[in-house]
Structure 1
Amino acid sequence: MIKFFSVLCLAFIFNVNALTAQNFSTHQVKKGETIHGIASHYGVTISDIYALNPDAKKELKANTILIIPISKAKKTEVVTTQELVGYKEHRTNRKETLYSIAKQYDVTEDDIKKYNTFLYANTLNKGDKLQIPVFKITKEEPKAATKAYIVKPKEGKWRIAYKFGITVQELEDLNPGMGETLQDGQQIYVPNKGGEEVKEVDEKYSYYNVLPKEGFYRLKIKLGLEQDELEALNPELKETGLKEGMVLKIPYTNNLNVAGEPVAKKTSLESKITNFDTKHIAVMLPFRTNRVHFDSISHIKSSIKKDPYLDASLDFYTGVLTALDSLKTLGISLKVDVYDTNYQVSDVLRILKDNNFKDVDAVIGPLTSETFEKVASELRAYHVPVVSPIGTNLTLYDNVFQSRPSDDLLKDRMVNFVKADSLEKNIVVVSDTKNEAVANSIKTAFGNAKSVYSRKGKTGNDLNFIYVEDIRSTLKPGRNYVFLETQSEGFVSNVVSILASLNSGSTEIILVTSNFNAAFEGDQVSNDHLSKLQLHFATTSKSYSDNGGNSFVKRYTQTYNTTPSKRAVKGFDLTMDVVLRLTAAKDLYMSVNSAPLTEYVENKFAYKKKLMGGYYNDATYIVKYQDLEIVEVK
């Protein structure tokens, strides 16, 4: 037994000496360590470790001894620079050589020759006068591999990993104790990129976490994107290729749980009411009651018909009132102030001056852009949230909530929806001159898309029609997506009629538009044709189901003896959302995190914050014509 122990000790000593001689080291694995972290710590590759420790590929157990090839570690040298600041004169003595002179002045022989060019062609002789360069030596330490980073609000691991061009696993290896979720203000370590710009997350795109063994072919099947399309969005792919765990920017999609971040789930705020304090809201609408003739019912009706702002305001306000009744039944106490802005900035200023808005929890309205801008800017100092019912492209002050998704967002959602179709497809864009810029942007998004433009008259004006052959020649057997971009009812009727006649046999045509407008709903346009072509479009709201089971529709109809318009539904949905968010969170701002997605009768709300500004609604619907109805595309 003693002999066996002695041999074992000698073998261990021999192995350690052998490792030392070959510039290797050993590492005892600690609990929770990863092969990525160990390789990073020693400056070697994972392959280097696996080459000497093949069992580590199967499982990395705590207390396992790994052999680390230190000789392969990447060394970072100190960078030395020298700057010429002057000369010293030297007269050569007998027996002196360039080598001895260079050593005496701590320069190189090449340095001496450079400033005494006669030495390139002649030997050094006694009595030669030399200029010896004097340098200012600067030594630069290599920059640190990592630096401290403060986590920003709403930043998860994948967002930070994407910013700095690493995988989530590599981020975790740099921060072993960072925890499962990151906290606002938490300090972690990230790669030190020096002056190189970090990438920013663009909310108009989605992000995908590359899985093990996924190559470009698998991503094409899953995402419907070619390698060149992925490389265009992620230029670093051309150098690095695909790596497991890397985060890729891809066109927006609702279909994938990308980058390991959960898809927002709809929150029912009625079950989350925790704050029963009285909520104070203000509603500001352009009723323009000073223009209404109240002397008779007929005059009142006439005033409403003649004034579109009064008509819109009353419609919206009936939805607000219905919501207030519903909120009271939930036990919510409300103080509601209603103001007539008269569609005048001067009236808005008077209202703000004559009333105390400091304690208002939220303002809904005004409807028009100029009056809304004035209210938002004036109440910004009090941090009072101001919610726009219908405005788009607003100045997003930090207290602004834009409830209507922008037209650009709708266009992007439609383009990305078509891109997400993994089947082989042909793209055609039909447009008139007015929408040529939109058509070109769609063509750019798809690359190989074909264009068809409205026929023109002798003066270059649009005639708002095309011939069958104009579009037949652009179609292919199989699936064809045809974008129709116009605000002309006649052009829509013409194109839809032609496409419906060509949609048969081996040619499947799906009609889409980035801007659904009144032209598609005109009397000249056949709903049968739109259904046959399955017209798809992105919209801010969907149509409610009129099956008698909707409590809002039932209550509204009983009160006003008519079915609610879309403006009335928006008034109801928006008021319900604003007040319920106030009762389920500390304030409207905090509700953005606690209730990422809410949905009511026709509208849904998923507010996102601009980096340096306010909040915009990111929630949209994709709908289509089907059997003479407009239905949501799930």
Structure 2
Amino acid sequence: MGIINTVFMSTKQLLFSFLFFFTLSLSAQVEPISFISHRVKKKETLYGLARKYDVQIEQIYKYNPLIKKIGLKKRMLLQIPVYLKPKPTTKASLPDTLSMYLVKPKETKWRLAYRYGITVQELEQYNPEIASGLKIGQEIIVPKRSEAETLALEKEFNYYKVKPKEGFYGLEKKLGVVASDLIALNPLLKTNGLQAGMILKIPLGLTGDLKIDDDLLVEKNNLLDSIPPDSKVTLGLLLPFKSNQIEFDSIQDTETKLKTRNLHTIALDFYSGAVMAVEEAASLGVEVVLNVLDTQNDKQYLKSKLDSLNWSDNDLVIGPMIPSNFDILSLQDSLKLIPMIAPLSSNPVINRPNVYQSITAPELLREKMFDYLDTAIDSTQNVLVIADSLNYEIEEKLLNRYPFAQVLRPEPGGYVVPDLIDSLLVDSLTNKVVFESQNLGLIASVTSLLNSQVSKDRDVQLFTTYRSNAYDNSNISKKQLGNLRFTFTAGTFSDESKRTRAFDSLYLSSFGDLPKREALRGYDLTLDVILRWAHKKQLSSDALGETEYIESRFDYVPHKDQGYQNRAYFLLEHQGYELSEIKK
């Protein structure tokens, strides 16, 4: 590490001189070498002209002062300055302490800054063109380092970018790691101290209240703070209460219907969570007008009601809950300009410009799990793929990625032969098993058999690219899943620590029971759309980013066709009797 520190210090000292001469070469070009005459055409803009002629907007203003007085007008004759372009920086023109580096896929500024022992700001000073981000294949300037002098990122740690004016005490409060441990992990702190933009290695278990984004600890988006004053949201809520099927004169019949899980109770639970969210938003200063309609799960009734009610006054609409009903309503002229949020079903709805699918799609969960498997599986391990006949396509994708894997197909009766599993697992290597099935009986059989193979001499870990609801069945042992460190992606995660006693007490006093999952979903989704609209009058925005509540995360991005999908997810692993989120 001593060599790295020495090189780091000498590079910092030379950075100023490099930037000084680089700045001189730019400042020498303050006067244009010639001008181009340009006649303004219809719909042309200053931004477009600046890009076309590779100049700055301010430079166009400087030689065409009339624009600031009357604006850019059609047929206006402009004088566009032409500047002598500096020669591009090449490896041969750099001082001995610097070199050129070709940006690879998935590399980020903070990763490169850590690797070369500099701050993100210093990397940007070397390369002003990367201020807005890196591009694959881009050549950038970095300090010259031998392979032994560069710092490798380690999966056993997280990383953190130091903020301006942040000290050791603040980091201890934020992350729970003391100064001595930070210095032990980051020896550069001994010589350079804490610097804004410096990347620090952080123990894996110490994240504070931050989230992990591609190994970097970052602040969670919190829409509960700084809500604009006088915020008001009008929200439509369409749920299948099916009140027309309840005989309110018959207490026994009503109790029977409401004791079983059906559309009545699911809608009521979701509604109770939505009411809690509206009350929470009101306490934060957001006035919410909630318009509720019982869809009765009847398409004709729903269309007739919408014709008689002016639902175009709503800012947003949650529902209907059933995808086929949702698809019919999203086509209605009165709603086509209003954001409509599909609330509960993972079954796809038709993508339209105003449609937001709030449930993370199974295809995206699979894609994210494949990405994780690429980091967790390699040819030094014993990899086994088990897939039933409905998942042969996934089996093929797995084998294309991991051609060294062995394959075990279940028998026609929906079971696997115990001796065959025993023969395919080994003691000398780590066994990684990827299991693809949504069949309850097969899941129970395979998890039990794999669990029986786990011992101090035989390490077995289980994965799946799609965890269906079958795993929630009581016949699937949570203890066995813990022994197998069963790992998967999910759109929701029930973490009891995020549900406060105050929330449970308030819900219990309001509705006479503890909240079920549909109630928590109703709360999370409703509060999120209210706060997003209060902040930005839209649901999808880089400024809003990913949000997180009791069980759900939301991060809406444009769908490849049209509309928007939620891309937020959890990467989870069974550990003992607990289910925990692990690093993506």
TM-score, with normalisation over the residues of structure 1? 0.60
Shift in alpha-carbon separation, 1:282–1:381, aligned structure 2, 3 A: closer
Which residue of the other structure, out of 510, 523, 531, is the alignment partner of 1:572?
523
The one-letter code sitting in structure 2 at the alignment partner of 1:414 is M
Give the Cα–Cα distance (whole angstroms) in 1 for the partners of residues 142 and 516 of structure 2.
47
Quote the residue 2:449 is aligned against: 498
1:410 aligns with 2:365: yes
How far residue 601 of structure 1 moved from its aligned partner, in angstroms, is: 0.6
Quote the residue 2:386 is aligned against: 430
1:315 aligns with 2:269: yes
1:454 aligns with 2:410: yes
Quote the residue 1:470 is aligned against: 421
Quote the residue 2:463 is aligned against: 512
Mapping for residues 240-255 of structure 1, pairs under 5 Å = none
Shift in alpha-carbon separation, 1:453–1:557, aligned structure 2, 3 A: same
CA contact under 8 A between 1:531 and 1:627: conserved in structure 2?
yes
How far residue 632 of structure 1 moved from its aligned partner, in angstroms, is: 2.0
Which residue of the other structure, out of 426, 433, 440, is the alignment partner of 1:489?
440
Mapping for residues 220-619 of structure 1, pairs under 5 Å = 257=214, 265-304=219-258, 308-378=262-332, 383-392=337-346, 393-421=348-376, 424-456=380-412, 462-475=413-426, 477-545=428-496, 549-585=500-536, 587-589=537-539, 592-610=541-559, 613-619=562-568
Shift in alpha-carbon separation, 1:542–1:296, aligned structure 2, 3 A: same
CA contact under 8 A between 1:380 and 1:399: conserved in structure 2?
no
Give the Cα–Cα distance (whole angstroms) in 1 for the partners of residues 501 and 88 of structure 2.
64
Q: How many residues align?
A: 432
Deviations 1:381-418 (A, max 9, x none): 65211111123432221211111100011112222222
Deviations 1:116-142 (A, max 9, x none): xxxxxxxxxxxxxxxxxxxxxxxxxxx
Quote the residue 1:46 is aligned against: 90
CA contact under 8 A between 1:548 and 1:554: conserved in structure 2?
no
How far residue 489 of structure 1 moved from its aligned partner, in angstroms, is: 2.4
The one-letter code sitting in structure 2 at the alignment partner of 1:552 is F
Give the Cα–Cα distance (whole angstroms) in 1 for the partners of residues 455 and 142 of structure 2.
40
CA contact under 8 A between 2:212 and 2:218: conserved in structure 1?
no
Shift in alpha-carbon separation, 1:418–1:368, aligned structure 2, 3 A: same
SS in 1 for 2:430: strand
How far residue 46 of structure 1 moved from its aligned partner, in angstroms, is: 2.3
Give the Cα–Cα distance (whole angstroms) in 1 for the partners of residues 93 and 492 of structure 2.
56
How far residue 353 of structure 1 moved from its aligned partner, in angstroms, is: 1.3
Mapping for residues 185-196 of structure 1, pairs under 5 Å = none
CA contact under 8 A between 1:363 and 1:385: conserved in structure 2?
yes
How far residue 270 of structure 1 moved from its aligned partner, in angstroms, is: 1.3
How far residue 549 of structure 1 moved from its aligned partner, in angstroms, is: 3.4
SS in 2 for 1:272: coil
How far residue 509 of structure 1 moved from its aligned partner, in angstroms, is: 1.0
CA contact under 8 A between 2:490 and 2:570: conserved in structure 1?
yes
1:31 aligns with 2:24: yes
Mapping for residues 115-130 of structure 1, pairs under 5 Å = none
How far residue 481 of structure 1 moved from its aligned partner, in angstroms, is: 1.9
SS in 1 for 2:565: strand
Shift in alpha-carbon separation, 1:575–1:469, aligned structure 2, 3 A: same
Quote the residue 1:621 is aligned against: 570
Give the Cα–Cα distance (whole angstroms) in 1 for the partners of residues 342 and 414 of structure 2.
38
How far residue 633 of structure 1 moved from its aligned partner, in angstroms, is: 2.0
Give the Cα–Cα distance (whole angstroms) in 2 for the partners of residues 536 and 478 of structure 1.
19
Mapping for residues 77-88 of structure 1, pairs under 5 Å = none
How far residue 475 of structure 1 moved from its aligned partner, in angstroms, is: 4.2
SS in 1 for 2:562: coil
Quote the residue 1:167 is aligned against: none
Shift in alpha-carbon separation, 1:210–1:414, aligned structure 2, 3 A: farther
CA contact under 8 A between 1:398 and 1:612: conserved in structure 2?
no
How far residue 584 of structure 1 moved from its aligned partner, in angstroms, is: 1.7
Give the Cα–Cα distance (whole angstroms) in 2 for the partners of residues 308 and 368 of structure 1.
13
SS in 2 for 1:314: helix
Mapping for residues 124-139 of structure 1, pairs under 5 Å = none
Shift in alpha-carbon separation, 1:255–1:449, aligned structure 2, 3 A: farther
CA contact under 8 A between 1:304 and 1:311: conserved in structure 2?
yes
Quote the residue 1:195 is aligned against: none
The one-letter code sitting in structure 2 at the alignment partner of 1:386 is M
CA contact under 8 A between 2:326 and 2:342: conserved in structure 1?
yes
Give the Cα–Cα distance (whole angstroms) in 2 for the partners of residues 215 and 431 of structure 1.
46
Shift in alpha-carbon separation, 1:588–1:264, aligned structure 2, 3 A: farther
TM-score, with normalisation over the residues of structure 2? 0.64
The one-letter code sitting in structure 2 at the alignment partner of 1:597 is E
CA contact under 8 A between 2:336 and 2:354: conserved in structure 1?
no
Give the Cα–Cα distance (whole angstroms) in 2 for the partners of residues 541 and 562 of structure 1.
22
Quote the residue 2:195 is aligned against: none
Identical counterparts, % of pairs: 23
Is 561-570 or 412-421 further displaced after alignment?
Answer: 412-421
CA contact under 8 A between 2:97 and 2:143: conserved in structure 1?
no
CA contact under 8 A between 1:432 and 1:464: conserved in structure 2?
no
Shift in alpha-carbon separation, 1:268–1:464, aligned structure 2, 3 A: same
Shift in alpha-carbon separation, 1:445–1:553, aligned structure 2, 3 A: farther
Give the Cα–Cα distance (whole angstroms) in 2 for the partners of residues 528 and 627 of structure 1.
6
SS in 2 for 1:358: helix
Give the Cα–Cα distance (whole angstroms) in 2 for the partners of residues 29 and 332 of structure 1.
51
How far residue 181 of structure 1 moved from its aligned partner, in angstroms, is: 4.0
The one-letter code sitting in structure 1 at the alignment partner of 2:361 is S
CA RMSD of aligned residues (A): 4.2
SS in 1 for 2:401: helix
How far residue 422 of structure 1 moved from its aligned partner, in angstroms, is: 7.6
How far residue 560 of structure 1 moved from its aligned partner, in angstroms, is: 2.2
Shift in alpha-carbon separation, 1:214–1:394, aligned structure 2, 3 A: farther
Gaps of 5+ in 1: 1-27, 35-39, 51-55, 61-156, 159-171, 183-197, 200-206, 225-253, 457-461
CA contact under 8 A between 1:362 and 1:385: conserved in structure 2?
yes
How far residue 337 of structure 1 moved from its aligned partner, in angstroms, is: 0.6
The one-letter code sitting in structure 2 at the alignment partner of 1:370 is S
CA contact under 8 A between 1:223 and 1:422: conserved in structure 2?
no
CA contact under 8 A between 2:450 and 2:460: conserved in structure 1?
yes
The one-letter code sitting in structure 1 at the alignment partner of 2:344 is I
